Amino acid sequence: MPRTHVFHTGFGFAVPVALICALVTPRVFAQAQAQAQAQAQAQAQTQGDATSPADAPPAAEAPPPAPAAAATPSAAELATLRAELDELKKSLNEVKEQQTAAEGSGSPADDSATGGEPLKIYGFMDMGAQHIWVNPDSAVSHVFQVNNTSFVVGNVNLYFDAQPIKSFRGLLELRFTNAPLGDIVNYGGLAGTFQRKNTFSYDPGGTAINAPMWGATVILERAWIEWNEHQALKVRVGYFFTPFGIWNADHGTPTLISLALPQFIVQRWMPIRQTGVMLYGNAFAGDWEFGYAGTLSNGRQEISNYNFDNNFGLGARVYARRETGRVNTTFGLSYFTGKTLENQIDVVASPTGINGIDFVDTTKVAYTEHVMGADFSLDLDATRIRAEGVVRRQVFRPGQRTAGDLLFAPGSFAPDQWQETAYVLVANQLPWFGIEPFLWGEAQAQPGILGDLVLVGSVGVNVHFNSAIQWKNQVTRAAFTNWLYTSPYDTSLNNVSSVYSRLVMAF
């Protein structure tokens, strides 16, 4: 490909000659062949052959041309050839100019008068196998699908990236899942009859009336529209990932180094996504980029898509980043706060109410939370280091606490609490075959009936076959221990070991 550009701008003499030769040579040979045919026909005519042209022997079978045709070209013939070459050279230059003009006018910048760009569709998916070991005597082993090796479809995510007009962009990300098929919806025994969720149906569009199918959930990962006219102030509206730390931004399997997730993400210490408005922007000072993001939202959406009152969730992030390719560094601080409510509305009989009924609105759960995070990211050649620390403070309104541990402490309520966690992940891509081993350590402290400190150690190997395909493998061990409090249970009973393997494709 680069050679092509060299051709365009070389000395401008030998290049066209070579190209013209390629064009002229067949033409000259064709000329010679036509000349031979003409001579054969002329010979036939001069011999007084009375046959019609249709009866004449095919030109290809004509006798070889007379020796005179192969004579040394005269100066006149050479001049004619040179003129033909000049003509072809001129034509070639005209074609090149037209092509260049066409490519320029067809560039994306001129796609439309609105400055829009084509819709882009891309995504990623991962699938593989995993095994999670838990002590068979642990309650966890009966509640979750563990102690079996299982093939899994991990993530199947599709992005629709639209920019129909300059300065406005929309992004929709969907994840396709098999959920909730097979989930336990009732444990049986004291809880009633054991039952799994079944999404079975007959295919309403099938050619056979008894063709089975199983429905599944499509998850809205994000859906937003943004106005990005100004670098220092962009406005995003819709359903977006909370700008908090590294992990929640990296988000997807091809981008994340580890397959296993840190517990503050799994347990959603801050809302992973929010519905609302986000302002963000950046500025530069030398090699350093300084950026910010501020969010105003409904807060947590685990309970509802709606805001139950006018207490909005507020979030902020600031970062400093230097990306020079070989050395990339990011320092970030994130914060989220919000008030979360769970309201219950009872319909009660009331002689004074309209139509004899009334509504009693009760707040069952109410808490305020503050979540603070600090993150550090460093790429140094083939080495990648990621570290995050998060502290969360949760304070309940008296009498409006969430239920405690339903399995190990039924009837209890969650306390006001501090939660702290930190992890460090170090990966290094070796010079062979895209192999990237990594180490990950995580500590998480929070009040809990199974121990108040969880330590996680993990080792993994990612193989980057190319930019689109990775094979990710990881072994993880999580240990439950006592730190500030003493658990009434054997905390080690719930230790978990896991092995994951995923083939990942980005497209």
Near other proteins by CB under 8 A: residue from 125, 132, 249, 278:
249
- Residue 84 in contact with other proteins, rule: CB under 8 A: no
Where does this chain touch other proteins (CB under 8 A) — which range of 109-117, 269-277, 341-349, 477-485?
A: 109-117
Spatial separation of the C-alpha atoms in residues 73 and 248, rounded to whole Å: 78
Where does this chain touch other proteins (CB under 8 A) — which range of 16-24, 127-135, 137-145, 361-369?
A: 16-24
Our CB check for other proteins shows the closer of 9 and 210 to be 9
Helical axes 14-46 vs 75-105, angle rounded to 10°? 130
Alpha-carbon distances of 144 from 139, 148, 215, 293, rounded to whole Å: 9, 11, 22, 37
Q: What is the closest distance, in whole angstroms, from the C-beta atom of residue 351 to other proteins in the complex? A: 56
Our CB check for other proteins shows the closer of 281 and 441 to be 281
Per-residue burial over 28-51, b = 16 or more CB atoms within 10 Å of its CB, e = otherwise: eeeeeeeebeebbbeebeeeeeee
- Residue 245 in contact with other proteins, rule: CB under 8 A: no
Near other proteins by CB under 8 A: residue from 46, 47, 52, 105:
105
- Residue 74 in contact with other proteins, rule: CB under 8 A: no
Site for other proteins in 414-453 (CB under 8 A): none
* Amino acid at site 405: D
Quick one: 472 exposed, middle or buried, by C-beta within 10 A (0-12, 13-18, 19+)? buried
Contacts of 190 (CB under 8 A, 6+ apart): none
| Total Cβ atoms within 10 A of residue 71 | 9
- Residue 121 in contact with other proteins, rule: CB under 8 A: no
Contacts of 91 (CB under 8 A, 6+ apart): none
Judge contact between 263 and 454, C-beta under 8 A: yes
Our CB check for other proteins shows the closer of 126 and 442 to be 126
- Residue 2's H or E segment, with its range, is helix 2-9
- Residue 72 in contact with other proteins, rule: CB under 8 A: yes
- Residue 151 in contact with other proteins, rule: CB under 8 A: no
- Residue 207 in contact with other proteins, rule: CB under 8 A: no
Our CB check for other proteins shows the closer of 246 and 371 to be 246
Site for other proteins in 220-239 (CB under 8 A): 222, 228, 230-231
Site for other proteins in 351-410 (CB under 8 A): none
Near other proteins by CB under 8 A: residue from 40, 62, 245, 251:
251
- Residue 50 in contact with other proteins, rule: CB under 8 A: no
Our CB check for other proteins shows the closer of 4 and 355 to be 4
Site for other proteins in 460-489 (CB under 8 A): 464, 466-468
Our CB check for other proteins shows the closer of 90 and 120 to be 120
- Residue 332 in contact with other proteins, rule: CB under 8 A: no
Judge contact between 169 and 228, C-beta under 8 A: yes
Contacts of 476 (CB under 8 A, 6+ apart): 260, 440, 456, 457, 458, 496, 497, 498, 499, 500
- Residue 171 in contact with other proteins, rule: CB under 8 A: yes
- Residue 118 in contact with other proteins, rule: CB under 8 A: no
SS3 419: strand
Total of chain residues touching other proteins, rule CB under 8 A: 78
Our CB check for other proteins shows the closer of 132 and 172 to be 172
- Residue among 392, 393, 385 nearest 423 (CA): 385
Q: What is the closest distance, in whole angstroms, from the C-beta atom of residue 374 to other proteins in the complex? A: 20
Near other proteins by CB under 8 A: residue from 30, 34, 42, 69:
69
Radius of gyration of the chain (CA): 36
Contacts of 265-268 spanning 24+ positions with Cβ under 8 A: 268/300, 268/302
Our CB check for other proteins shows the closer of 6 and 209 to be 6
- Residue 114 in contact with other proteins, rule: CB under 8 A: no
Q: Where are the beta strands (DSSP E) in 93-217?
A: 117-134, 149-165, 168-176, 184-186, 195-196, 200-202, 212-214
Near other proteins by CB under 8 A: residue from 61, 103, 346, 361:
103
Site for other proteins in 336-355 (CB under 8 A): none
Near other proteins by CB under 8 A: residue from 255, 304, 383, 492:
255
Our CB check for other proteins shows the closer of 35 and 217 to be 35
Site for other proteins in 20-49 (CB under 8 A): 20-22, 24-25, 28-29, 32
Where does this chain touch other proteins (CB under 8 A) — which range of 114-122, 144-152, 203-211, 305-313?
A: 114-122
SS3 24: helix
Quick one: 242 exposed, middle or buried, by C-beta within 10 A (0-12, 13-18, 19+)? buried
DSSP secondary structure string for all residues of 396-408: EPTT-PPB--TTT
Site for other proteins in 256-295 (CB under 8 A): 282, 284, 286-287, 289
Judge contact between 299 and 271, C-beta under 8 A: yes
Site for other proteins in 298-327 (CB under 8 A): 323-326
Where does this chain touch other proteins (CB under 8 A) — which range of 132-140, 250-258, 295-303, 330-338?
A: 250-258
- Residue 76 in contact with other proteins, rule: CB under 8 A: no
Tokens of 157: 């995510």
